[in-house]
Amino acid sequence: MLKAKRVLLVDDSSTIRMYLRAVLMHTGAIVEEAISGEDALRQLQANPPYDLILLDLILPDIDGIEVLHRLRALDEDSAVVMLTGMGGIKSATTAVREGADGYMEKKDLALGSDHTEFFYALQQALEHRTGLVAQRQLQQFKTDFYSMITHDLRNPAGSVLLALQ
């Protein structure tokens, strides 16, 4: 599922980053890490887009929602899953409204589990973002197509009107 996918882990806890790195690398993912919101934004500007970003909600320098908001201004193609140690329906709703593709509580990443729910949530986030990107590309194609047709029909119609006059 994540084989050869580029993943950015954004969390201030080295323990969480180490654990998630091990879980993700086991699937063949290429994992990079950021320890703060500013660090993550620098990496996003310096590197090509990531396939998946796992973003902590509470960071030492910038709130995870603010990072998400700024991230979406830079990159609309990467799937983002918000992670939090404490949160609830309000923070999950806010994260999705701001552009997150998924939301998970860290307590659901239990040691010793097979991580089925975790990987299912990541797969859903990737598919959701792929659908949004395809929808945006289709809308752009339709806009370009209508512009081209309108332009191409305007020229002959003008000539016909001129000849009729």
CA pair distance 44, 8, nearest whole angstrom? 9
Distance CA 46, CA 59 (A): 21
Q: Which residue has the tokens 């806010």?
A: 94
For the segment 41-64, what is each residue's pLDDT rounded down to a tens digit?
999 999 878 999 999 998 999 989
Give the pLDDT confidence of 70-117 residue by residue, as tens digits: 999 988 899 999 998 776 778 888 888 888 999 888 877 766 567 778
Confidence bin at 18 (pLDDT 50/70/90): very high
Burial class (CB in 10 A: 0-12, 13-18, 19+), 162: exposed
| 10 compared with 150, residue with greater pLDDT | 10
Give whole-number Cα distances, 24 to 34, 53, 107, in Å. 15, 12, 17
Query: Hunting for tokens 């996003």 — which residue is that?
Result: 44
Mean pLDDT over the full length of the chain: 85
DSSP single-letter state for residue 108 = G
Residue carrying the six token digits 């990159």: 75
- Of 10, 105, 109, the C-alpha closest to 63 is 10
DSSP-derived pairing of the beta strands 79-84 and 102-105? parallel
Once rounded to an integer, what is the mean pLDDT over residues 106-133?
78
Phi then psi for residue 81, to 5 deg, are -115, 125
**CA angle at 37 for the pair 34 and 43, rounded to the nearest 5°:** 50
Mean pLDDT of 3-28: 93
Judged against a pLDDT cut of 70, whether residue 151 lies above it is answered with: no
Q: Which residues are paired to 82 by β-bridges?
A: 55, 103
Q: Look at 54 and 148; give whichever has higher pLDDT.
A: 54
**β-bridge mates for residue 52, sequence order:** 7, 79
Q: Which pLDDT does position 61 carry in this prediction?
A: 93
